[in-house]
Amino acid sequence: MDAPDSSLGHAAESIRPARQPDVAAQPSAHHVIRARLLSFNADPGDDDTPAEGSVSYIEDGALWWSGGVIQAVGEYAHIAPRLPADTTLIDHRDKLVMPGFIDSHVHYVQLEIMASYGRQLLDWLNEYTFPEECRFAKREHAEHIADVFLDELMRVGTTTAQVFCSSHPGSVDAFFSAARRRDLCMLAGKVLMDRHAPDALTDDTLGGIRDSERLISDWHGTARLGYSVTPRFAPTSTRAQLDAAGGLLRNDPSLWLQTHLAENLGELDWVAELFPGSRDYLHVYEASDLVGPRSTFAHGIHLDDGMRQRLADRGANIAFCPSSNLFLGSGLFDRAGARQQRLKLTLASDIGAGTDLSGLATLKAAYQVGQLRGTPLTAWAGFHDLTLGNAVSLSLDDRIGSLTAGKDADFVVIDPMASPLMARRMGRTRSLSEELFTLMMMGDDRTIYETWAGGRLQHRRQG
């Protein structure tokens, strides 16, 4: 953790007494939370014992922020005497504070079709996804769902997400507008697809690119927002559209790219038919210059070692979506094999095929997938991936992902005693590792006591 700034000087007695912070309070005010603090400095590895120096844990810590930025993190006894006189103290000594959770792949426009029964990928798209996304032609609907979606993210402690909108530009404007009002760090983009979808959703091959250019101009780099170029997946874009999307990335390397890759065996067969000149699914994207260090490919279940190595060599990441993969019966992602090839990985909910927006639920499903493959996920690795790991893989770690001075004040306050049964289980834990694993397996939205983003209180649990 960063040492406190010794140039600051005020007596500890001058701190205002603890009170519940006002949601609408100005983020420029000085606040300090006194709590147990947990953050990661580096990848802890996959062993039961984390790599030396990879974890920062402070039993009686202070997290001080102002102006939406973390000012200092350290032992409370060291920081308290240096706080300004008007600092608001929030006493959460019975809670655990971590960086805000990050979701690398989620469809906000599919929120209301979660838990739609009984289909695999391609049938699921045609029966549920495409009809639902048609509703986002209406700006009022997009604005309403964007607000509901962000409310739900805050409720489960997710402060940053990389988001698929629909093919309607208004759905992107609605999402970014809602995120900006809350001062959230979000990535999003308009879906590009010029074939194999209903007429109400397909865009003109180059018209979709023009829409994207306008959205990039309006939103990319505005406040805490970034634009992800978003071809849905290879079957719904012609080569001309994929090539044009690659041109956007070449013209502005600060953009992100998000799409899908090798989720379902039927999908692989379809891609082979549609792109007979490509040696494999990944090559379809490589040929259009879509594979790079800011590229996220959701799923990547059915990849061979050669494809994974090519992704790793280009610095791209695979978004591991365990609850979605289980729900659609797509397969069991080989996390251990990908790690061995040094392929960057992220964790994602993939709503609406995913079954829960909660990062804790994603960790639980990732552990279960790992168990079935004989390589169970440790709590150290899981919480690292959900915070700093996702931030690094998305090229956002200069701003978020850890409790570090100078980074944005995005963090969650976790209540380990959120339910009677969890409290009973916590009473039997003997180490921080056991406590984290219990959170990973038993935690839900009740576990998130508060969510702060941009230095503002975005959510507090009721009751």
Q: What is the pLDDT of residues 337-354, one digit of tens each?
A: 999 999 999 999 999 999
User: Which residues are bridge partners to 189 per DSSP?
Assistant: 164
pLDDT digits (tens, 9 = 90+) for 201-212: 999 998 999 999
Fold of 101-393: TIM Barrel (3.20.20)
pLDDT digits (tens, 9 = 90+) for 159-185: 999 999 999 999 999 999 999 999 999
pLDDT for 119 equals 76
Q: CA 458 to CA 437: how far, in whole Å? A: 26
Mean pLDDT, rounded, of the chain: 93
Rounded-to-10 torsion of CA 362, 323, 159, 339: 60
| Alpha-carbon distance values, 340 to 88, 242, 316, 377 (Å) | 46, 30, 15, 14
- How many Cα atoms occupy the beta-carbon half-sphere of 327 within 13 Å? 21
Nearest Cα residue to 385 out of 429, 321, 443, 325: 321
Q: CA 384 to CA 440: how far, in whole Å? A: 12
Q: What percent of the chain has pLDDT over 90?
A: 90
Banded model confidence at residue 31, pLDDT cuts 50, 70, 90: very high
Query: Do residues 107 and 352 make contact, with C-beta atoms less than 8 angstroms apart?
Result: yes
pLDDT higher than 50, residue 17 = no
pLDDT for 75 equals 98
Count H helices, E strands: the chain? 17, 16
pLDDT for 121 equals 78
Mean pLDDT lowest for which of 27-31, 83-87, 262-266, 279-283? 27-31
Collapsed DSSP state (helix, strand, coil) of residue 11: coil
* CA of residue 424 relative to chain centroid, distance: 30
Structure tokens at 206: 């180059």
Nearest Cα residue to 132 out of 189, 197, 203: 197
pLDDT higher than 80, residue 51 = yes
| Alpha-carbon distance values, 389 to 104, 170, 384, 401, 410 (Å) | 11, 32, 5, 8, 15
Helix (H) or strand (E) holding 414: strand 411-414
Structure tokens at 199: 């007429």
pLDDT digits (tens, 9 = 90+) for 212-247: 999 999 999 999 999 999 999 999 999 999 999 999
Q: How many other CB atoms sit within 10 Å of the CB of residue 265?
A: 14
pLDDT higher than 60, residue 374 = yes
DSSP 52-102: TTSEEEEEEEEEEEETTEEEEEEEHHHHGGGS-TTPEEEEEEEEEEEEPEE
pLDDT for 28 equals 67
- How many Cα atoms occupy the beta-carbon half-sphere of 229 within 13 Å? 30
pLDDT for 13 equals 34
pLDDT for 5 equals 37
Q: What is the mean pLDDT of residues 65-89?
A: 97
Query: Do residues 322 and 104 make contact, with C-beta atoms less than 8 angstroms apart?
Result: no
How is the chain split into domains, by residue range? 12-100+401-460, 101-393
Cβ contacts of 286-289, under 8 Å, gap ≥ 24: 286/310, 287/239, 287/242, 288/239, 288/242, 288/243, 288/245, 288/246, 289/243, 289/246, 289/247, 289/249, 289/250
User: Which residues are bridge partners to 11 per DSSP?
Assistant: none
Structure tokens at 240: 């001309």
pLDDT higher than 70, residue 383 = yes
pLDDT for 463 equals 78
Contact residues for 242 (Cβ-Cβ < 8 A; gap 6+):
231, 234, 284, 285, 287, 288, 290
pLDDT digits (tens, 9 = 90+) for 101-125: 999 999 999 999 999 887 787 888 8
User: Measured in Å, how far apart are the chain's first and last C-alpha atoms?
Assistant: 32
Q: Which CATH architecture has domain 12-100+401-460?
A: Roll (2.30)
